[in-house]
Structure 1
Amino acid sequence: MRRRHLFPALPAVLAAACTAPATPPVIAVFFTEDSAQLDTEAQEVVRRTAAVARGGTGPVQVLGFAGPAGAVAYNRALSEARAQHVADLLVSNGVARDRIRIVPRGPVPFEAVPTESRRVEIRIGA
């Protein structure tokens, strides 16, 4: 089962990011198993998130996750590759690299739906 991106709710979340909430919004994009590449829909989510981040001056955290199946070292590297890929997309869409902080979280236990563990979270103003 593939979890849908937060695309339908994205405009509301991005609008909230512009008003500097106490807790930074979390935008998530999801990956297929053993992959650090985003599909077209997820790339659009990152592009729209970059448009909002460009309007601010605060930091942007990019947290990479991987599921628990397989070797720990492999999943750590995969979570970092996922976060790096999203950070590179943010930069290519105009977000200053010095504002971005990559945080590879490595393997995490499966969430309610296993595919949720294969994600990157973007936190604007974190």
Structure 2
Amino acid sequence: MQHQSWVSPAQTQLIQLTQLTQLTQLQTQLTQLQTQLTQLQTQLTQLHTQVTHLQTQVTQLQTQLTWLHTQVTQLQTQVTQLQTQVTQLQTQLTQLQTGLTQLQNPAHPAPNPNFPNIT
């Protein structure tokens, strides 16, 4: 014989009130979780915006770096050209000094193709 327990209306109302309280608490927790999710989504959007901004800055810096590298290369080329010109001028100066020495000491002329002997 199966035993069935009888529940009074007051007990039924208490059970229903307890369940309603639990449901309200769960709804409150769900609302809090939804609020947290919204906040996290907002933070994620902000971070995405910051990342995009940083990527833009990196691209600009890379462009500037490329430009600076080009400028340095051009300057190095100019320096090399100037060094070549200085070397040429030094050679010409040496030849002129040699020619002057020959003019000042005609008794001991040194052969110089740029200053042929005048006889």
Larger gyration radius, structure 1 or structure 2? 2
Higher normalized contact order (CA 8 Å, seq sep 6+, divided by chain length): 1
Question: When the two structures are superposed, what TM-score results if normalisation uses the length of structure 1?
Answer: 0.20
- The structure that is strand-richer by fraction is 1
**TM-score, normalised to structure 2's length?**
0.21
Bigger helix fraction: 2
